[in-house]
Structure 1
C-alpha cells in the first residue's frame, strides 16, 4: 500500500531506525523527518501526509501537546519509551503505540495495523485520477474497450499485469495492482496481495475466503481487518 508518512522525533537514532524499517519493509513514502514539534507543524502546513510517527517526550512541545494542535482526523502512530502514556494516546486518531526500542517484529505488526486502518477507508482520496464516473477504458490490441465498474467481479495481480474479470470477459492489462487500487474506491476492496474485489458482487464469505462469480478468493491476514470493517457496515 502506498502511504505517505513523516517521522517526528528528537532522537536521531530513533529517526534513523524508523527510516530503515520503513524503507526495508514497506512501500510507503517517507516525506520528511522532523526533530521537534515546531518543525513538524511547519512541515504539515505545507505537505499532506496519511499518518505520522510521533514521539511523545520531546522538549518545548511534547508529542501529546502537538497531537492536540493537529486536525482531529490526523492519524498517529506514537513512538515512546514510556508505556504510561498509552491510555491517553487513544484520545486521538491513534493507530498504534510503539514502545522503544522498536523491534522488527513489533514494527511489522504495526505495518499490518496501519495498512488495515487505511484499507477500511476505501474512499480516502490519495489520487486525483480515481475512477469515479462508473466506467473506464482498457486497451486490448488496437481497441479501447469500455468497462462498466458495476460489472467488474475482481482484479487479480499477475506480476506486471492485472487480470480484470467481469461476468462475461477476462482481460489482461499491463498495469500493477497497486496502481489500480489507488484509482478505485468503494465498493472495491483489497483483500489479498493479489486481489481487489467488488464487494457488491460477493455471494458469500466463509472461512477466510470470499466467493464471487465462480471464483474462491482468499482473504489474507494483512487485509482482513480492513475488509471486515467494510463488510460490517452491511451486516443486519
Structure 2
C-alpha cells in the first residue's frame, strides 16, 4: 500500500531507525522528517500526508500538544519511550502506540494496523444497525490453559519478577509474561500507575493520597506515572 507518512521526532537516531524500517519493510513514501513540533506545523501547511509518526517528549511543544493542534482526522502513530501516555493518546486518531526502542517485530505489527486502518471501507447505515458489538476480551495463558477473560471484569494487573498476576472480582490468574508486554496490547481504560501495576480505571473505587483503591486493594501511584494517570482521570472529574 502506497501511503505518505511524516516522522516528527527530536532524536536523530530514532528518526534514522524509523526511516530504515519504513524503507526496508513497506512501500510507503516518507515525505519528510521534522525534528520539533514547530517545524512540523510549518511542513504540514504545504504538504499532504496520510499519517504521522509522532514522538511525545519534544522541545517547544510536546507530541500530545501538537496532536491537539492538528486537524481532528489526522492519523497518528505515537513513538515514545514512556508508556504512561498510552491511554491519553487514544483521545486522537491514534493507530498505534510504539514504545522505544522499536523492534522490527513490533514495527511489522504496527504496519499491519496502519494499512488496515486505511483499507477499511465505511459501513452503510443498514450494516451498522446489524452489527452487534461483542464484549472485549483476551485469552490469557495460565499454565497450560487459555482462559477467556472479559476486559471489563479485570480489576488490575500486578507484575512480579517472572510473571504477572491478573485479578478480577472473582478469580486470580498467573500469567508468565512481562507486564510491559501485556501493557502494549491493552486498550483504554487500562492505565499504568506504577512499575508493578496496571489498573482498569472503570473499576476504581476512589483515589486518595497518591493511592488507588480498587477491589479492596490499595495500589500506589508512582511519580513516574502520576501525570499520565491524572490526565485520564481529569476527563471524569466534576
State TM-score, norm by structure 1: 0.57
Tell me the secondary structure at the aligned position of residue 187 of structure 2. Answer: coil
Tell me the secondary structure at the aligned position of residue 171 of structure 1. Answer: strand
Distance 1:67 1:222 in 2: 33
Match of 1:121 among 89, 98, 102: 89
CA 1:70 to 1:194, structure 2 compared with 1: closer, same or farther past 3 Å? farther
Distance 1:138 1:187 in 2: 18
Shift of 1:158: 1.7
Distance 2:228 2:158 in 1: 19
Match of 1:137 in 2: 139
Q: Is the 8 A contact 2:87 2:190 kept in 1?
A: no
Tell me the secondary structure at the aligned position of residue 43 of structure 1. Answer: strand
Shift of 1:71: 5.6
Shift of 1:212: 0.6
Q: Name structure 2 gaps, 5 residues minimum.
A: 1-5, 21-27, 70-79, 97-109, 114-133
Deviation per CA, 1:177-212, whole angstroms, max 9, x where unpaired? 122112211221111222110111111001111111
Tell me the secondary structure at the aligned position of residue 186 of structure 1. Answer: coil
Shift of 1:76: 5.6
* Aligned residues: CA RMSD: 4.2
Match of 2:36 in 1: 54
1:31 aligns with 2:18: yes
Tell me the secondary structure at the aligned position of residue 31 of structure 1. Answer: helix
Q: Is the 8 A contact 1:191 1:218 kept in 2?
A: yes
Q: Is the 8 A contact 1:210 1:219 kept in 2?
A: yes
Distance 1:138 1:79 in 2: 36
Distance 2:140 2:64 in 1: 44
CA 1:192 to 1:226, structure 2 compared with 1: closer, same or farther past 3 Å? same
Aligned residues: 176
Distance 1:152 1:29 in 2: 39
Distance 1:29 1:178 in 2: 25
